[in-house]
Amino acid sequence: MDKYIIRRNNKGIVWFTINRPEKRNAIDYEVMDGLSETISEVKNNQSDKVFVITGIGEKAFCSGGDLAAFQNLMTKEDAYKMLSKMGEILYSLATLEKPTVALLNGLAIGGGCELATACDYRLAFRESRFGFVQGRLGITTGWGGATLLLERVSTDKALQMLLTGNIYTAVEGKDLGYINHILSKDLPNNECEEYISKQIIHNTKVIEAYKKVVNRKWVATQLKQRMFREIEECSVLWASDEHHQAVSSFMNKNN
């Protein structure tokens, strides 16, 4: 079974669906490569206008990194190689000169929140929940997600989400300014496309020009450098005994 599904429609919307329901749509190296390749394709394909990321089913958008795939990364150097790989992908997603949408069809936790945060818009089922829970494993956001979060919501709201590690509902996420729109579960893809058609009305050239304005701000404020300092700090925590013990306990609990 393919770990991700790519679909294009006649409106120029590209759908990237993580297809790992047995892993709550967790990200492994294959999904990373799929995201990287698809972002590059969307960037270079003039007929692609909007990029939407979601997960298969109604239970999980993305549960973050697949711990089974990454549990053997013991050292700071090993961790940094994986974390920086995904950091590069999220930076390319955040700076893509076409609108990006995360459709939260279910639970988004840990790295799943980082993936959603890299997108321009976050739409969610009313039943969806999300949370930056990395601290429970003795680490911080490892893919640059905290830096990106500070670009999306106010500092106090970002700290609240990061420091508490709380799981929030979609309604609470809208109040925090994190979720842009709440969808019904009946026809979410249609409703998502309707939202896109109302929010993104200009032609592709105009949209790209506006996104370049945003990107220039992020270059000036060293977004990428800030993301990678965050990734460096996480890689140090990743190599700690506390993190390895937390991962071991989690894996034993789920086996």
Q: What is the pLDDT of residues 62-109, one digit of tens each?
A: 999 999 999 899 999 999 999 999 999 999 999 999 999 999 999 999
As a CATH number, domain 4-199 is 3.90.226.10
Q: Phi first, then psi: what are they for 16, rounded to 5°?
A: -115, 110
Does 167 have pLDDT greater than 90? yes
Q: Phi first, then psi: what are they for 14, rounded to 5°?
A: -105, 125
Residue labelled with tokens 């090993």: 78
Measured on CA atoms in the order 212, 214, 217, 222, is the torsion positive or negative? negative
For residue 184, the model assigns a pLDDT of: 80
Does 218 have pLDDT greater than 90? yes
| Domain assignments of the chain as residue spans, ordered by start | 4-199
Provide CB contacts within 8 A for 148, sequence distance 6+.
90, 94, 114, 117, 118, 223, 227
